Structure 1
Amino acid sequence: MKQTHRDFLAELARFIPEQRLITDPLRTLAYGTDASFYRLVPQIVVRAESASEVARIIQLANEKTIPVTFRAAGTSLSGQAITDSVLIQLGDGWKGYKINDDATEITLQPGVIGGQANSYLSPYNKKIGPDPASINAAMIGGIAANNASGMCCGTAQNSYRTLKSMQLVLADGTQVNTGDADSVARFKESHKGLLDALDSLGRQTRANEALHSRIEHKYRLKNTTGYALNALVDYQDPIEILQHLMIGSEGTLGFMSEITYQTVDEHPNKASALIFFNSVRTTCEAVAILKKTPVSAVELMDRAGLRSVETKPGMPDFIKDLPDDAAALLVETRSANPQQLAEQVQEIKASIAALETARPIEFTTDPEEYAKYWAIRKGLFPAIGAIRLTGTTVIIEDVAFPVDQLADAVHDLHQLFKKWHYDEALIFGHALEGNLHFVFTQAFDNQEEIDRYDGLMMDVANMVVGTYDGSLKAEHGTGRNMAPFVELEWGQEAYQLMWDLKHLLDPRGILNPGVVLNANPHVHLENLKPLPAADALVDKCIECGFCEPTCPSRALTLSPRQRIVIWREIARLEATGEDAERLALLRKEYEYQGTDTCAACGLCSTTCPVGINTGDLTRSIRSRNNESHTKLAQWLADHYGTVEKVSRVAFAGADLTHKLLGTKAMTNITSSARKLSGGRIQQWTPAMPKAAPKIKPTSTPPTAGAPKVVYLPSCASRTMGPARGDEDQTSLATMTEALLRKAGFEVIYPDNLDGLCCGMPFQSKGMFAAADSKSSEIEQTLLKITENGNIPVYSDTSPCSLRLKDKIDTRLQIFDTVDFIDQFLMDRLIFQQTNEPVALHITCSATRLGQAAKLKRIMSACSSQVVIPDQITCCGFAGDKGFSTPELNASALRTLKGAVEHCEAGYSTSRTCEIGLSHHSGIDYKSIVYLVDRCTQPKLSNRPTTEENNRIQTH
């Protein structure tokens, strides 16, 4: 670390706690990586928790002339969120929001994820204007700082156009709230010179006819190249100029600590059509016509894009037969009511009826059907990511053209791809705005490849600007990627005005220097990110960061993206043989940061564009680390019945001790023992379960003709009973059997139940052979008792259900608790809804099983007030991690208590998860079976008809 940064770090330590000042090589590299193809490693990462902290950091940086860069989610693509100086991360204290009475405005802190903001507005049929593809990962701070738009946003609903007010921190550390009259009045006194200068620049710009005209002309299209010079012509009030300049400034003019948006309508009625044309020119003619109709989105896909997905499951066969010049438009229209929607569909179809289409135009209002259409569009980017060669990256460029010249522009882009041999490149984009994205794979491991990329970019820049006077960056931000081309696009006079604004608002050049404006003509070719082969399980990762919001360890150690970043660096150092000392340090630190604190829950795969499950990498590493324990693992698998007995004894012993000592003494003694053992003794909490009683099937004979179900209690359900303080002391197995019988089922248990296991406890530790031996054993047992799959199997723990569905014979009908209740019990029981608020935790396994909607439906049948905390994903208990690495569980559930403290109880679908949930929430969590049993009565007759019996037995 440079001495200047050492001194700066010492000053920061006066008001920032040590744990939020990060300087070690592993985390600075991990936290310093964004979604772009550039890499700089910060010397210091600071996790700031409030605007006042940011203000002090910036003020100190200004005094010491230390560059600082702000980071939200790091989904930016153009290199605007990286630095080799000081990176300021948003901690947990930035997720606040407020909606005004009529939901026409929403105030958001910069750490709120865009998708979460929309979920807050959903009950009002409102949303925020910006809708980038990354909205479920990108944070408001980044969305505003990049003026990100998207498929439906256009130019009318982006951050610039829907901004009401903001709180910001300037380069000298001054804070101002543009929505507060007193704050503005004080600012006008303290910064009169700054506001006068902005006023003067605005007057000069508006009076300069050529410049004024140039600015208005440039913003006829989407444009995020350079600064928002339109602020100088759209507004006369210097405060309005100032706050609108912040939009799209990429953290180079100030820090937005809060923003208030004017919301836009989210019409509930939607219809979509995927329209195929035989030529690009006809496709683009359609776009120009559709722009005048009531469409909300028009997405273009060229033939290369369609070809990349034509073999995917569910794709219509005729796509393969489309001509080479074919293209498609994905069109959506929305309305407040169904009748108006139908009228809009007819108007849209009529408008392009004269154009030749490859297939008849068919709109659908079926959500499942039009979700397939959008999945095609969203699958274009992953399609390139999935085929790229290891060591290459995927680049998404982002340009805009006048809509009436779109066909020529697409043609010219295709010619440039041919010239520079980017044969896999494809084009898609928001055609309504003339905004096209082109995607291609690129290696940066030799000068020839770098020169090829440079040649393409130079030709693209000259074509976009010289031929069409378009935008070089329509919505992805200037960053480092396009900084050398800002003057080319805007001209010398406008470019100098941008520098004037930068010097005015950041005179010492400390705010994200080198981004947006950069005098280095080759900066777009420097500090290129290496993507070496690391492991086939994760080599397709493009480091986009879409996985991060789902990860339970994201605030404790590393996210999936960051784990892959470090594993790649370890692989690179191993391959090159350089810096053995650094390699050894990274390997050692990764054990805790990467492996020990990974829940391996797989939620990352549900949001990853290329479907990577980073948990697979973690399990693979654990497998290598645990090779010496293979024999022990197999012995435990072979004697699992004994393991269960020992576990029951252990839980019974812990509960007896708890009873004798009391909760306070037990907590103190076990905490001290854990500390003295260096963490080797497992964590005990008051939510620790008692031993479950041995399962004894009810002897009551079943109703004649009752449908059969094989009940498979998990090993967790068989060994873990309720906690000592739980109000209901009935074991899960007893409760489940009672519920199934209430619904009229004959319940059958597998033979030799003790010792059966799906293998999950072994799999999570990377002991794959032992895990597979257990799943094979359970498979044979179930095939026998279900008569080769003729009788359904009820599995009461969602992680076990997920593994069973993945691993065992497909003839076996495995139903998780959620699936079985939703499919078979909802119609066989009378539900009596309560008004008491109840909390729901959707486990990672339930999410991966696609059960979220079913769970909500079941819970809503039981209670009118179902609370689902919006910042909780996987609970991080991860089997036994809640005992061995309790800080992971604590971090994942750090916001839970405040979200559910008014609830009567909490419900979930995994006994181990419920231990951690109970401990960190202050309320009792248990299986949803308990709530369903409490809220239901049997129907007068659950004697099934022959038709129903057949449906259940042969599903």
Structure 2
Amino acid sequence: MKAPSEATYAELKRVLAESIPGERLIDDPLRTLAYGTDASFYRLIPRLVVRPESEDELQRVLAECRARGVPVTFRAAGTSLSGQAVTDSVLIQLGRGWRGHEILDAGRAIRLQPGVIGARANQLLAPFGRKIGPDPASINSCMIGGIAANNASGMCCGTAQNSYRTLRDLRVILADGTLLDTADPASREAFRRSHAGLVEGLERLSAETRANEALAEKVRHKYRLKNTTGYALNSLVDFEDGIEILKHLMIGSEGTLGFISTITYDSVVDEPCKAAALAFFPDMATTCRATIALKPSPVSAVELMDRAALRSVQDKPGMPESLRTLPDGAAALLIDVRGHDEADLESRMAEVQASLEGIRTLEPVTFTREPATYELYWKIRKGLFPAVGAVRDTGTTVIIEDVAFPVERLDEGVLALTEVFHRHGYPETILFGHALEGNLHFVFPQGFEKPGEVERYQGLMDEVAQLVGVEYGGSLKAEHGTGRNMAPYVELEWGPEAYALMWEIKALFDPENLLNPEVILSRNPTLHLENLKPLPAAHEIVDKCIECGFCEHVCPSKDLTLTPRQRIVIAREMARLEALGEAASGEEVERLAALRAACGYAVDETCAADGLCATQCPVGINTGDLVRELRHERLASRAGLAHRVGRHFSGVTRMARGALSVAGAANRVLGDDLMEKASGSARRLSGGRLPQWTPALPQAAPVRVLKQPPSGQGRDKVVYLPSCATRVFGASRQDGEETRSAMEITLALLERAGFEVIIPEMVGHLCCGMAFNSKGQFEEATHKARELNRELLVASQNGRYPILMDTSPCVLHLQARLDKRLAVSEPVAFAHDHLLERLSLVQLDEKVAVHVTCSSTHMGLGEKMVALARACAREVVVPAEITCCGFAGDKGFTTPELNASALAGLADQVKGCSAGYSNSRTCEIGLARHGEIPYRSILSLLDRASRPGS
């Protein structure tokens, strides 16, 4: 197929701009590279990225592309591992417009748009005791569109609860722009008339396949296993109706047959009682015999791990000591059992134990129901893939493949695979997988830069394909999708007859071959060796990134500019281009200049540097640390200014309070609307250097309250350190109920709890240093932290008294910077550990919202914060998918669009709440602005609901 010309893409963008806003038609070098990268080891850079927000827009895009012969590829979360979500043509990327959902039949079904994250679907179903069937390991990040398009399964899903088996209905848009709603009889009938050739063609292929006994039996055998290689040919033997065949062919089609705009799943029961055992066996053969014995027992999951896999995690914190002492050749099964109640669980555990009688284990098999140990066992299993990623050499990628053997031949298959790996020079390969399904993942580091590496990889894959697909009659792709990586081997696995059938299916749906060409089906025998992704060294902080995308869903800038993964992609590309030096071509020089010009805003200015990405990253990368390093380099010339601000900090905070007072006076004269417009104009004229005024801007804080005398002799003492934010920002002007500053609330609550409060000397001069650190001014940040450490030691008498800081991010920043004798808490932890036992609570008859700050997430305080709020108020709302608020210290003023993007949809979720509560004063400003309700310190809620205790 001839590639479209530059002029064709330019014309396409011009035509699409007539109906789609220009900001959703993207063709600049930085964002096409960033948005075009997925979790696979392939790289193709799209010529145009389009973000349609509705079915109508998508239909127009497809129509215009088809009219010009332009290929299109659909992208949801981009966690796909096999290259099915990359393109050098038009990439259709899902945004906010595709996150709709609806619960049906009291939770027995759920209707989802493709942009909904899998874990969010389960969150919606949880109140009904149900979940969706598929449970891929990436469920916290991957989207429904990818789950369905890849027929992703997972740990407990097997073949009975995958998308194919739990599909009820879908809405699909075909290559010609036609929309079919399989739940609507009128739509089905209209489609039968308008697309009679397609429907009749599918029914003909079904009849021919069922009549061909050998082929039909082969299809049934292949889908007895987990299988995502090629198209879902089981639809041809499972159904006779053309619409039903079409519906099920869409599952696992990887965007090559059409676009799933809505899918309705039949949900499955989520049994609440859970137990797990980590069983160790002397060798792989015994482990596989145990797997076969467990097959008929009532287990939810059986996960196999070989000795190399266990060795890769044995030295990580928290791992059981027994992992280190296992002999070579040993293997393990993680056995998960679930039940409707405790009696059901006990019965099932006993049945599992009986299944293993007579099979030798290295130690007795013991089940645990203790949550921490249960989670530890699953942490071992889920940590295997990233464990390889963390230790690989810089510049190499991580290959993860997933094959399936007939379970009765699993032990033979494992041994044969291991021999193949050693023969081709991959002794470090680890094996693990979903044992009940005969589904094995093998993971190894792979470089492509050195001579011979591509050829070595090709030799390995050729032999693996022959072994699994031909000799054992297994699946070359059990659950990760065919993609580009296995497309050259589809015919080898399925044979010429079934392969020809797949091409007929493709021709019926997409005769011009415009939907994700070269994915699943390809005539190119070396496709899997082309367009390999470079992973050059960029910075030691991020060089271990495997570009999986697990970080993206928690990033506050994900819908505005870039995600952590995409920032790393840009850093790597710039490093690669810079390393070329004088050898760079003119095009590469221009590309580097374009990336440098655009990265300031996209990479730096819109990064909240909150570190939430590290909480989701398999290898613990905090991309915020990289951005701070870049700021340090960029702002090195401002170190002198930072030094002066730090040495005159009390004066700076006084000026800030004065500016708030002036702004308040101006606002009283101009009103909110005129004030906001005037501020916006001034900000634009200043090139973004002036801050944006917001109606949620508080009054100046009354610091005089810190001069109060001691509250009484003989009481327990506490050191109270108000942060610089609470010393500057007082109560909200718009809060008609709470007129006190956070400092006043805190002091009143401590008095009620019977504490004598100690305020450190020179409190107006003190700062934790976070404000400097976030700007890359590390030296001054260190100075301020040391200064504060000294004063807190004095005030607390060397750690004799507990210390309360009223702002959570400050406490997180100080955790590794203060003397170990100092016990510093933020409001949630202090209330839980020191206040609740001293107070009597009277629950308020209110519905309130809680925002768990990113720092609270890092410190593991989310559950405590919600529990504290529930003890104080009748109903507590925790808005879904609102992670970091994006205010990020001062970015709510300097980059207000980040705060707005991060909190999009907040107001709808907190509607009806009397107020919102959190533990960071600056976050509360942005939350109040975009939540359209007052936001206050969590201590305010506790103060309102509490009375002095006994």
Provide the TM-score with structure 1 as the length reference.
Answer: 0.97
Is the Cα–Cα contact under 8 Å of residues 712 and 793 in structure 1 kept in the other structure? Answer: yes
The worse-fitting range, judged by mean Cα deviation, of 60-69 and 386-395 is 60-69
Is the Cα–Cα contact under 8 Å of residues 145 and 247 in structure 1 kept in the other structure? Answer: yes
The worse-fitting range, judged by mean Cα deviation, of 535-544 and 312-321 is 312-321
User: Paired residue for 2:24?
Assistant: 20
Within 5 Å, which residues of 2 pair with 1:504-519?
Answer: 504-519=508-523
Q: CA 1:695–1:359 in 2, change beyond 3 Å: closer, same or farther?
A: farther
User: Paired residue for 1:274?
Assistant: 278
Q: Deviations over 1:703-742 (max 9, x none)?
A: 6653222111101011110122222111111111111221
Q: In structure 2, what residue type is equivalent to 1:681?
A: L
Is the Cα–Cα contact under 8 Å of residues 710 and 757 in structure 2 kept in the other structure? Answer: no
User: Paired residue for 1:717?
Assistant: 726
Cα distance in 2 for residues equivalent to 1:637 and 1:477: 55
Q: Does 1:934 align with 2:934?
A: no
Is the Cα–Cα contact under 8 Å of residues 38 and 529 in structure 1 kept in the other structure? Answer: yes
Q: CA 1:908–1:188 in 2, change beyond 3 Å: closer, same or farther?
A: same
Q: Report the Cα offset of residue 808 of structure 1.
A: 1.4
Cα distance in 2 for residues equivalent to 1:118 and 1:611: 25
Of 2, 21, 36 in structure 1, the residue corresponding to residue 6 of structure 2 is 2
Cα distance in 2 for residues equivalent to 1:445 and 1:41: 20
Is the Cα–Cα contact under 8 Å of residues 879 and 906 in structure 2 kept in the other structure? Answer: yes
User: Paired residue for 2:657?
Assistant: 648
Is the Cα–Cα contact under 8 Å of residues 619 and 764 in structure 1 kept in the other structure? Answer: yes
Of 707, 716, 740 in structure 1, the residue corresponding to residue 716 of structure 2 is 707
Cα distance in 1 for residues equivalent to 2:711 and 2:374: 46
Cα distance in 1 for residues equivalent to 2:639 and 2:683: 27
Of 682, 698, 715 in structure 1, the residue corresponding to residue 691 of structure 2 is 682
Q: In structure 2, what residue type is equivalent to 1:743?
A: A
Structure 2: 5+ residue runs without aligned partners?
none
Of 827, 840, 848 in structure 2, the residue corresponding to residue 830 of structure 1 is 840
Secondary structure of 2:943 counterpart: helix
Cα distance in 2 for residues equivalent to 1:365 and 1:875: 36
Cα distance in 2 for residues equivalent to 1:320 and 1:43: 50
Q: In structure 2, what residue type is equivalent to 1:859?
A: A
Is the Cα–Cα contact under 8 Å of residues 695 and 734 in structure 1 kept in the other structure? Answer: no
Of 82, 95, 113 in structure 1, the residue corresponding to residue 99 of structure 2 is 95
Runs of 4+ aligned residues of structure 1 deviating over 4 Å after TM superposition are 697-705
Is the Cα–Cα contact under 8 Å of residues 335 and 341 in structure 1 kept in the other structure? Answer: yes
Of 316, 322, 328 in structure 2, the residue corresponding to residue 324 of structure 1 is 328
User: Paired residue for 1:794?
Assistant: 804
Q: Report the Cα offset of residue 398 of structure 1.
A: 0.6
Cα distance in 1 for residues equivalent to 2:381 and 2:817: 31
Q: Report the Cα offset of residue 126 of structure 1.
A: 0.3
Q: Report the Cα offset of residue 897 of structure 1.
A: 1.5
User: Paired residue for 2:71?
Assistant: 67
Cα distance in 2 for residues equivalent to 1:405 and 1:370: 30
Q: Deviations over 1:672-725 (max 9, x none)?
A: 222222222110011111110114347575566532221111010111101222
Q: Report the Cα offset of residue 859 of structure 1.
A: 1.0
Q: Does 1:902 align with 2:912?
A: yes
User: Paired residue for 2:700?
Assistant: 691
Within 5 Å, which residues of 2 pair with 1:250-649?
Answer: 250-577=254-581, 578=584, 579-649=588-658
Q: In structure 2, what residue type is equivalent to 1:904?
A: S
Q: Does 1:782 align with 2:792?
A: yes
Cα distance in 1 for residues equivalent to 2:7 and 2:815: 57
Of 229, 238, 245 in structure 2, the residue corresponding to residue 225 of structure 1 is 229
Cα distance in 2 for residues equivalent to 1:640 and 1:353: 71
Secondary structure of 2:302 counterpart: strand
Of 70, 76, 83 in structure 2, the residue corresponding to residue 79 of structure 1 is 83
Q: Deviations over 1:240-290 (max 9, x none)?
A: 100100000000000000000000000110001111111111111111111
Q: Does 1:163 align with 2:173?
A: no
Q: Deviations over 1:432-484 (max 9, x none)?
A: 11111011000011341111111111111111123211100000000000000
What's the C-alpha RMSD, in Å, of the aligned pairs? 1.2
Is the Cα–Cα contact under 8 Å of residues 202 and 242 in structure 2 kept in the other structure? Answer: yes
Q: In structure 1, what residue type is equivalent to 2:388?
A: I
Q: Report the Cα offset of residue 317 of structure 1.
A: 2.1
Secondary structure of 1:587 counterpart: helix
Q: Deviations over 1:393-413 (max 9, x none)?
A: 011011001112111111112
Cα distance in 2 for residues equivalent to 1:81 and 1:223: 19
Secondary structure of 2:715 counterpart: coil
Is the Cα–Cα contact under 8 Å of residues 695 and 733 in structure 1 kept in the other structure? Answer: no
Q: Report the Cα offset of residue 101 of structure 1.
A: 3.4
Is the Cα–Cα contact under 8 Å of residues 914 and 933 in structure 2 kept in the other structure? Answer: yes
Cα distance in 1 for residues equivalent to 2:231 and 2:207: 17
Is the Cα–Cα contact under 8 Å of residues 648 and 692 in structure 1 kept in the other structure? Answer: yes
Within 5 Å, which residues of 2 pair with 1:656-667?
Answer: 656-667=665-676
Q: Report the Cα offset of residue 64 of structure 1.
A: 1.6
Cα distance in 2 for residues equivalent to 1:786 and 1:351: 60
Q: Report the Cα offset of residue 814 of structure 1.
A: 1.4
Within 5 Å, which residues of 2 pair with 1:90-169?
Answer: 90-169=94-173
Cα distance in 1 for residues equivalent to 2:664 and 2:816: 35
Is the Cα–Cα contact under 8 Å of residues 757 and 774 in structure 1 kept in the other structure? Answer: yes
User: Paired residue for 1:806?
Assistant: 816
Secondary structure of 2:338 counterpart: strand
Q: Deviations over 1:37-74 (max 9, x none)?
A: 00000000000101111111112222221100000000
User: Paired residue for 2:60?
Assistant: 56
Q: Deviations over 1:157-192 (max 9, x none)?
A: 000000000000011100010001111121112112
Cα distance in 2 for residues equivalent to 1:301 and 1:889: 44
Of 836, 850, 874 in structure 1, the residue corresponding to residue 884 of structure 2 is 874
The worse-fitting range, judged by mean Cα deviation, of 902-911 and 30-39 is 902-911
User: Paired residue for 1:944?
Assistant: none
Is the Cα–Cα contact under 8 Å of residues 600 and 614 in structure 1 kept in the other structure? Answer: yes
Is the Cα–Cα contact under 8 Å of residues 282 and 362 in structure 2 kept in the other structure? Answer: yes
Q: In structure 1, what residue type is equivalent to 2:669?
A: L
Q: Deviations over 1:743-787 (max 9, x none)?
A: 222221111111111101000000000001111111111122222
Is the Cα–Cα contact under 8 Å of residues 705 and 743 in structure 2 kept in the other structure? Answer: no
Q: CA 1:938–1:40 in 2, change beyond 3 Å: closer, same or farther?
A: same
Is the Cα–Cα contact under 8 Å of residues 277 and 357 in structure 1 kept in the other structure? Answer: yes
Q: Report the Cα offset of residue 554 of structure 1.
A: 0.7
Report how many residues are paired: 940
Cα distance in 2 for residues equivalent to 1:529 and 1:55: 31
Secondary structure of 2:658 counterpart: helix
User: Paired residue for 1:892?
Assistant: 902
Q: Report the Cα offset of residue 316 of structure 1.
A: 2.2
User: Paired residue for 1:247?
Assistant: 251
Q: CA 1:646–1:699 in 2, change beyond 3 Å: closer, same or farther?
A: closer
User: Paired residue for 1:948?
Assistant: none
Cα distance in 2 for residues equivalent to 1:832 and 1:298: 47
Q: Report the Cα offset of residue 87 of structure 1.
A: 0.2
Q: Deviations over 1:574-595 (max 9, x none)?
A: 0012222211110110001111
Q: Deviations over 1:204-248 (max 9, x none)?
A: 111111111110011110000000000000011111100100000
Cα distance in 2 for residues equivalent to 1:675 and 1:630: 26
Cα distance in 2 for residues equivalent to 1:218 and 1:242: 19
Cα distance in 1 for residues equivalent to 2:747 and 2:673: 35
Is the Cα–Cα contact under 8 Å of residues 695 and 718 in structure 1 kept in the other structure? Answer: no
Q: Deviations over 1:474-518 (max 9, x none)?
A: 000000000000000000000000000000100111100000000
Q: In structure 2, what residue type is equivalent to 1:888?
A: L
Is the Cα–Cα contact under 8 Å of residues 710 and 758 in structure 2 kept in the other structure? Answer: no
The worse-fitting range, judged by mean Cα deviation, of 664-673 and 908-917 is 664-673
Q: In structure 1, what residue type is equivalent to 2:295?
A: K
Q: Does 1:849 align with 2:854?
A: no
Cα distance in 2 for residues equivalent to 1:287 and 1:13: 57
Provide the TM-score with structure 2 as the length reference.
Answer: 0.98
